[in-house]
Amino acid sequence: AIQEVDKIWHNGKLVPWKEATTHVMTHALLYGTCAFEGIRAYKTDHKGTCIFRNKAHIDRLFYSAKVYYIDIPFTRQEILDAAAETVRANGLESAYIRINANLGYGEVGPYSLDCPTDVSIVAFPWGRYLGDEAMAKGIKVGVSSWRRSAPGTIPAGVKAAGNYLSSRLITIEAKKRGYTEGIGLAHDGTVSEGAGENLFVVRNGRIITPPFAASILGGITRDSVITLASKLGYEVVEQNLPREMLYAADEIFLTGTAAEVTKVASVDDHEVGDGHYPIADKIQKTFFGLFTGETEDEWGWLEPIEK
Ligand code: PMP
């Protein structure tokens, strides 16, 4: 269940949680026309509460909105500030922040270039998406029978509500089969990503992750991990992976705002490697080190929320 808080930022104003409602004929509900972001705010040991890569998320929000012809009637800076304000107004030390740019009420039909856009920002407490045990030991995943959307169909690199019908099919099928998460293959049968996470394979000391062309969402955690891994001295390559490479991997891990850095213990009941994760452990530790100060934030990724 969602943990309710006091206020939601709705079209420029903080309103009580229960009042942030929308009409049943909202375009986004009818056609999935909602560009959105999921962002985390962390309680850090050295800089108070910080939003992690707020700016990168807001840039992706505007990109997703542009692709689907959703006008956002606020500037990037206004949305950036509003995200921080929403965390602060609810007195949250850490939070998951969901920003929605919904095509609103006014027209029926997918065309609708004149619908108003409803922008909302919700910040609420949210722990480990895949659980604490998952973070320590790794999760069991299964390759889905559902493929990710092919290039030239629904743009997989865009974060919009309608795109998540694909994630829903992949993740529900996986859970019904006893896995914690499902992995989608791209249209050509190469590995794409998890239902809500990007995927990395470690093999012979190299780190490999599928490229944008493999119908992935360009994850901000993926980008952070590529940067951190390179900084640690690892070779990281973006390359197509045949499915069986998942069974040949020494290590596999998933990344995402919700999943953070999560190791994979098995794929389709094949254990990954020999059960040791030297590289994934190091990357996980370096990633979480950003929030304790142990990893230096050379990139300005931590954006402190002024009290
Ligand atoms: N792929 C999909 C399909 C996702 O939903 C997410 C979560 N936004 C990711 C990858 C990871 O992206 P990020 O690291 O930006 O959260």
Nearest CA to ligand 1 atom 10: 197
Distances 273 to 36, 199, 202, 250 between C-alpha atoms, Å? 36, 16, 9, 4
Q: What is the mean pLDDT of residues 148-156?
A: 96
How far does residue 93's CA lie from ligand 1's centre (Å)? 23
Non-local CB neighbours of 66 within 8 Å, separated by 6+ positions = none
Q: Which secondary-structure segment (H or E) carries 181?
A: strand 181-185
pLDDT at 150: 96
**Minimal-distance CA residue to ligand 1 atom 5:** 196
Residue identifier of the C-alpha nearest atom 3 of ligand 1: 196
Confidence at 190, pLDDT banded by 50, 70, 90: very high
* Active-site amino acid positions: 159
60-108 per-position pLDDT tens digit: 999 999 999 999 999 999 999 999 999 999 999 999 999 999 999 999 9
Distance from Cα 214 to the centre of ligand 1, integer Å: 14
186-189: long-range contacts (C-beta < 8 A, 24 or more apart)?
Answer: 186/147, 186/148, 186/150, 186/210, 186/214, 186/215, 186/240, 187/147, 187/148, 187/149, 187/150, 187/151, 187/215, 189/242, 189/243
pLDDT tens track for 272-299: 999 999 999 999 999 999 999 999 999 9
Both tokens of residue 302? 């931590």
Measured in Å, how far apart are the chain's first and last C-alpha atoms?
A: 28
Given 3.30.470.10, 3.30.420.340, 1.10.20.60, 3.40.50.10490, which CATH number is that of 7-124?
Answer: 3.30.470.10
User: 202 CA distance to ligand 1 centroid (A)?
Assistant: 20
Residue 197 CA to ligand 1 center (angstroms) comes to: 5
The C-alpha atoms of residue 79 and residue 302 are separated, in whole angstroms, by: 17
Residue found under tokens 């690199």: 157
Q: Comparing C-alpha atoms, which of 190, 172, 184 is closest to residue 143?
A: 184
pLDDT at 179: 97
In ligand 1, the atom with minimum distance to the C-alpha of 57 is 15
Tell me how far the alpha carbon of residue 252 is from its chain's centroid. 18
**Angle formed by the axes of helices 54-67 and 220-231, nearest 10°:** 140
Q: What is the pLDDT of residues 216-235, one digit of tens each?
A: 999 999 999 999 999 999 99
* Cα separation, 163 vs 110, whole angstroms: 15
* pLDDT(129) > 90: no
Distance 107 CA to ligand 1 centre (A): 30
pLDDT in tens, 133-151: 888 899 999 999 999 999 9
Minimum-distance ligand 1 atom for the alpha carbon of 60: 15
Residue 1: predicted pLDDT: 83
- Please give the pLDDT value at position 112: 84
- Top mutation candidate among 100, 154, 198 for ligand 1, by most atoms within 8 Å of CB: 198
Question: Per-residue pLDDT tens for 18-51?
Answer: 999 999 999 999 999 999 999 999 999 999 999 9
Look at residue 307 and tell me whether its pLDDT is greater than 80: no
- Residue among 53, 54, 217, 253 whose CB has most ligand 1 atoms within 8 A, to mutate: 217
113 vs 274, residue with greater confidence: 274
Across the chain, what does the average pLDDT equal? 96
Per-residue model confidence (pLDDT) at position 131: 77
Q: Nearest C-alpha to atom 9 of ligand 1 is from which residue?
A: 197
Q: Which residues have CB under 6 Å of ligand 1?
A: 38, 167, 193, 196-198, 217, 219-222, 255-257
Domain ranges for the chain = 7-124, 132-292
Distance in Å, CA 106 to ligand 1 centroid: 30
Q: Which fold has domain 132-292?
A: D-amino Acid Aminotransferase; Chain A, domain 2 (3.20.10)
For a substitution probing ligand 1, which of 54, 57, 169, 197 has the most ligand atoms within 8 Å of its CB? 197
Question: Which protein residue has the closest C-alpha to ligand 1 atom 6?
Answer: 196
| Residue 120 pLDDT greater than 90, yes or no | yes
